[in-house]
């Protein structure tokens, strides 16, 4: 069964040539809302730290455990879920894990103490960590490769929207009432999304008509051991490891090394996030129009230049920091969106769910590894400024170059599979 056959339940090829149908547009928006809540729940923990630690009377180390609990539980659950990921209608699978994610966030919202909050983060990670892989499998099943970059671009705006809208609103609710309300708002939004998925989304079950391995473990083993997937898994690991190295220390570097007052920090996130809302869809269109790999090459070059500039900045003005941040996001999105679109063409239709779940686990685990490696490389001076931050930049550049070489062979693999020279 071909990719076009799996996509057939949505629209015929004549409609696809004209662009998205009304149902497709609604589905993309719905998946973006799903991603918005998942990403917001993950990233809101860091800005809530200043409120959570005194409220629960916990140390910075305990708070760090609560933050990392999500990533590690998500990484483990992705591997465990991979064996079952292609054995159910993807709509039902999405609902199952999204309802579990909502239950975990509800536990966070009601948590009376640190231990219940920690349990809530683990539950949220176990279920929420798999949702992104199910979303990717749905996109791959229902949209042909020539439209997939545009779809990824729209869905990835969830990251920017969570930064622009979610974090400020969450912090406002936490400051005006308490931190429980911030999680409660996510729960309320998630319940609305659950109802929308139930009522508006059609079944995604074309893969169930394909031949699969007998058992869940056999399915997982067959996917992990497939030689043609190894390179794609490697690229995913490299991109996540490099991407997570600068992020955890970005705020401290901006304040103590670049000399930006802490009151201007939200402005940097707000402006860069607003630009990202438009950057994502534009990059998605460009990757479909000019090719996924050429767009990835551009994104890699932009990332290398901007990381080199960013990690060697001295005391500069707010406008320059914002400009550098925006251009870095251009590079990041120009790598992330086409790479996801290209890699989505690698797995066989009957293994897409397992492949996406394993990829999501690799992203979580390698992201945690990248953060730990960054913490081992840098050091803090007495005035709060960071030493060796430039070394992180060189490591990110090195991983970017290796990922570019690996992606060249990935796109060759996709081109051979598709029977054409350029992707």
Q: Flag whether the pTM goes above 0.85.
A: no
pLDDT, average across residues 314-327: 90
**Residue 60's pLDDT is what?**
66
Question: Distance between CA atoms of 186 and 106, rounded to whole angstroms?
Answer: 9
Residue pair 170/189 in contact (Cβ under 8 Å)? The answer is: no
pLDDT in tens, 15-27: 444 567 889 899 9
Report the CATH number that the domain containing residue 98 is assigned in CATH: 1.20.1250.20
The answer to whether residue 172 is domain-embedded is yes
Is the pLDDT at 308 greater than 70, yes or no? Answer: yes
The answer to whether residue 380 is domain-embedded is yes
74 or 30: whose pLDDT is higher?
Answer: 30
Residue pair 350/210 in contact (Cβ under 8 Å)? The answer is: yes
The total number of residues written for the chain in this structure: 423
Residue 262 Cα distances to 110, 255, 268, 306, angstroms: 31, 6, 10, 22
Confidence of residue 115 (pLDDT cuts 50, 70, 90): very high
Is the pLDDT at 355 greater than 70, yes or no? Answer: yes
pLDDT, average across residues 310-327: 90
The answer to whether residue 423 is domain-embedded is no
The answer to whether residue 320 is domain-embedded is yes
269 or 393: whose pLDDT is higher?
Answer: 393
pLDDT, average across residues 148-163: 83
Is the pLDDT at 104 greater than 60, yes or no? Answer: yes
**Residue 84's pLDDT is what?**
84
Residue 418 Cα distances to 10, 237, 247, 314, angstroms: 21, 24, 36, 48
Residue pair 308/393 in contact (Cβ under 8 Å)? The answer is: yes
**How would you class 252 by CB atoms within 10 Å of its CB: exposed for 0-12, middle for 13-18, buried for 19 or more?**
middle
99 or 222: whose pLDDT is higher?
Answer: 99
The answer to whether residue 404 is domain-embedded is yes
Where residue 259 falls (left for φ over 0; alpha for ψ -120 to 50; beta otherwise) is left
pLDDT in tens, 210-231: 776 567 778 888 888 888 899 9
**Residue 1's pLDDT is what?**
39
**Range from 100-104, 151-155, 162-166, 252-256 that averages highest in pLDDT:** 100-104
pLDDT, average across residues 303-329: 91
Domain around 55: 3-418
**Residue 360's pLDDT is what?**
83
The answer to whether residue 229 is domain-embedded is yes
pLDDT in tens, 262-298: 778 778 877 887 888 888 889 999 998 999 999 999 9
Query: Considering the chain, what percentage of its residues have pLDDT values greater than 90?
Result: 36
pLDDT, average across residues 171-195: 90
pLDDT, average across residues 368-374: 76
Instruction: Please state the domain count of the chain.
Output: 1
């Amino acid at each position: 069964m071909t990719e076009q056959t799996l996509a057939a339940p949505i629209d015929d090829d004549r409609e696809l040539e004209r662009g998205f149908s009304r149902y497709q547009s609604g589905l993309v928006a719905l998946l973006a809302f799903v991603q918005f809540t998942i990403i917001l729940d993950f990233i809101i923990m860091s800005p809530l730290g200043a409120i959570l630690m005194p409220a629960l009377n916990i140390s910075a180390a305990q708070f760090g455990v609560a933050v990392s609990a999500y990533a590690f539980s998500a990484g483990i659950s992705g591997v465990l879920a991979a064996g079952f990921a292609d054995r159910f209608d993807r709509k039902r699978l999405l609902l199952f894990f999204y309802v579990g994610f909502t239950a975990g966030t509800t536990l966070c919202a009601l948590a009376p103490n640190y231990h219940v909050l920690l349990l809530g983060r683990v539950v949220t990670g176990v279920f929420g960590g798999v949702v992104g892989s199910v979303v990717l499998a749905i996109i791959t099943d229902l949209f042909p490769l020539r439209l997939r970059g545009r779809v990824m671009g729209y869905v990835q705006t969830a990251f920017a929207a969570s930064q622009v809208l979610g974090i400020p609103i969450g912090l406002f609710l936490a400051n005006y009432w308490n931190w429980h309300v911030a999680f409660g708002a996510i729960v309320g939004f998630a319940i609305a999304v659950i109802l929308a998925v139930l009522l508006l989304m059609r079944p995604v079950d074309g893969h169930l008509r394909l031949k699969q391995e007998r058992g869940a473990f056999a399915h997982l083993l067959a996917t992990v051991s497939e030689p043609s997937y190894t390179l794609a898994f490697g690229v995913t690991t490299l991109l996540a490891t490099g991407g997570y190295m600068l992020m955890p220390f970005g705020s401290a570097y901006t304040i103590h090394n670049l000399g930006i007052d802490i009151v201007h920090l939200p402005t940097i996130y707000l402006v860069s996030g607003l630009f990202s809302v438009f950057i994502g869809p534009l990059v998605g269109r460009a990757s479909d129009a000019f090719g996924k790999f050429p767009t990835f090459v551009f994104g890699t070059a932009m990332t290398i230049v901007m990381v080199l500039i960013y990690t060697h900045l001295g005391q500069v003005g707010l406008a320059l920091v914002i400009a550098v941040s925006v251009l870095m996001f251009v590079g990041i999105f120009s790598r992330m969106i086409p790479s996801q679109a290209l890699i989505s063409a690698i797995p066989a239709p009957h293994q897409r769910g397992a492949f996406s779940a394993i990829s999501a686990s690799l992203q979580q685990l390698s992201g945690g590894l990248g953060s730990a490696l960054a913490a081992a490389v840098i050091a803090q001076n007495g005035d709060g400024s960071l030493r060796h931050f430039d070394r992180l930049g060189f490591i990110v550049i090195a991983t970017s170059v290796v990922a570019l070489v690996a992606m060249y062979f990935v796109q060759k693999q996709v081109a051979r599979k598709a029977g054409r020279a350029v992707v």
